[in-house]
Amino acid sequence: MPSRCPQASCVMATLIFQRNAEPLISPMAGTRETKTRRRYIRLVATVIIAVMVVSIAAAAALQLGREYGHAIAVAQAYTGATAQILASDTARTLDRLRQLGTAFVGSKNAAIAREMVESGESTRVLNIALVNESGAFLASMRGDPTAAAPLSQDVLRSLARGPVILPFSDPAIGASPMTIVFKSHDAPARFVLMPLDPAAIMPSRALGQSALFTPGWQVLAQGAGMKVAPPPAILRQSMDAGAAQIVEYGGANSMIAVGRVPGWPLAAIASVPIATALAAWHAALPLYLFLIFGPALLCAVLALLWGRASDRAERARVALLAAETARDEAEYHSVSLRAAE
């Protein structure tokens, strides 16, 4: 029996051909594909963020290391230079005082010489005395030299090697932990003894983390900034190293340098706390942390926005595909029904 609707038969045949040629995608298949795409997007975004964070963190860490090394090198150079400057200034001061003492004992007018010393070096020079080769006191700027006890033979033997710095105390002459004794140029068989004020010997520009020590590492003068003197073992280690070193004493790490005072048995010490040396480096840490975490946070936000936009686009694509599938199914069933009639 011929079909009552040949057009419907043609449409149905066309739909059947399209259905066989292009299989319809079910909503379930679209959902699985969407999940796969989402996982892929998250994986790509995670890899991109990780690579960028690691790259920026590595660059910042390298720069931080370079800045740290530079700060330590600057602190080392500064500490070593400070110790050498302190040693040179102390040597010049002691040389000038030695000339002053030599001029005093060689002066023909003791009153004028005393006035000259008191007007120029009253804060540094406590007394000036003349000693003969046996150690007996012959004259002095202050006190009673005839009542003073003679110098020991150990001190006299040490004077054969050069100037001596020692603690001295005698009621007739005076007392000082920093007393210099040296040969008189005018009378080689005689010696000049000068008790000094150690605090006044320290140069005014070196009143920070600095000090003067004897060869036995006894503190003679100490800057106001150095609250705790380094132990002798640390000072010997720094002296042997010949350069500034990082050591720990007094509960903190410090950069210490030791310089010999030219011509005198003294050592000049300069110290810089590591916290002070690295203050600028510590101040730059927030900037480096921002450089590390700022781009990482920005990448994370951009990746999140990109992922959400991709999810919305994928959902719209799947919804459109499902709508087209449903429309084709409805049209196919409608044509099938008409064809069946």
Helices H, strands E: what count in the chain? 8, 10
Q: What is the full DSSP assignment across 109-148?
A: -HHHHHHHHHHHHTTTB---EEE-TTS-EEEESSS-GGGS
Verify that 206 and 334 share a domain, yes or no. no
Is residue 51 one of the residues assigned to a domain?
yes
Residue reference for tokens 């603690």: 167
Q: Is the pLDDT of residue 195 over 90?
A: yes
Position 21 scores a pLDDT of 46
Is residue 165 one of the residues assigned to a domain?
no
Position 23 scores a pLDDT of 47
Is residue 77 one of the residues assigned to a domain?
yes
Verify that 222 and 337 share a domain, yes or no. no
Position 241 scores a pLDDT of 65
Is residue 218 one of the residues assigned to a domain?
yes
User: Is 271:79 a contact under the CB 8 Å cutoff?
Assistant: yes
pLDDT per position as a tens digit, 252-298? 788 888 888 898 988 888 888 888 777 777 787 787 777 777 776 77
Q: Is the pLDDT of residue 31 over 70?
A: no
What's the CA gap between 101 and 95, in Å, rounded?
10
Verify that 268 and 228 share a domain, yes or no. yes
Lowest-confidence pick of 44-48, 108-112, 116-120, 160-164: 44-48
Is residue 113 one of the residues assigned to a domain?
no
Q: Is the pLDDT of residue 192 over 90?
A: yes
Q: Is the pLDDT of residue 149 over 50?
A: yes
User: Is 83:89 a contact under the CB 8 Å cutoff?
Assistant: no
Average pLDDT value for residue range 160-168:
89
Domain count for the chain, please give it: 2
Verify that 319 and 268 share a domain, yes or no. no
For the chain, the residue count is 341
Verify that 264 and 327 share a domain, yes or no. no
The strand pairing partners of 273, in sequence order, are 254
Is the Cα torsion angle 191, 192, 198, 200 positive or negative in sign? negative
What's the CA gap between 209 and 89, in Å, rounded?
16
pLDDT above 70 covers what percent of the chain?
78
Nearest CA among 293, 196, 230 for reference residue 79: 230
Q: 35 falls in which pLDDT band (50, 70, 90)?
A: low
Average pLDDT, the chain: 77
pLDDT per position as a tens digit, 42-88? 777 777 777 777 777 787 778 778 888 888 888 888 888 888 888 89
Q: Is the pLDDT of residue 162 over 90?
A: no
Residue 238 sits at the vertex; the CA angle it makes with 237 and 244, to the nearest 5 degrees, is 150
Verify that 268 and 325 share a domain, yes or no. no
What's the CA gap between 239 and 214, in Å, rounded?
13
Q: Side-chain half-sphere of 292: how many Cα atoms within 13 Å? A: 15
Average pLDDT value for residue range 146-157:
90
Is residue 116 one of the residues assigned to a domain?
no
Q: 32 falls in which pLDDT band (50, 70, 90)?
A: low
What's the CA gap between 211 and 199, in Å, rounded?
10
Q: CA–CA distance from 189 to each of 107, 133, 160 (Å)?
A: 17, 5, 11
Is residue 55 one of the residues assigned to a domain?
yes
Q: 3 falls in which pLDDT band (50, 70, 90)?
A: very low
Position 128 scores a pLDDT of 92
Q: Is the pLDDT of residue 9 over 60?
A: no
Is residue 304 one of the residues assigned to a domain?
no
Position 77 scores a pLDDT of 85
Indicate the residue among 235, 253, 277 that finishes a domain: 277
pLDDT per position as a tens digit, 16-25? 444 454 444 4
Compare 123 and 292 and report the one with higher pLDDT. 123
User: Is 199:191 a contact under the CB 8 Å cutoff?
Assistant: no
Verify that 261 and 321 share a domain, yes or no. no
pLDDT per position as a tens digit, 202-230? 766 554 578 888 877 888 877 767 777 77
Verify that 269 and 217 share a domain, yes or no. yes
Position 341 scores a pLDDT of 62
What's the CA gap between 243 and 81, in Å, rounded?
10
Position 39 scores a pLDDT of 73
Range of the domain at 246: 46-94+200-277
Position 65: which residue type? G
User: CATH code at 72?
Assistant: 3.30.450
What's the CA gap between 156 and 341, in Å, rounded?
141
- Which run of H or of E encompasses 314? helix 279-340
What's the CA gap between 178 and 220, in Å, rounded?
6
Position 17 scores a pLDDT of 47
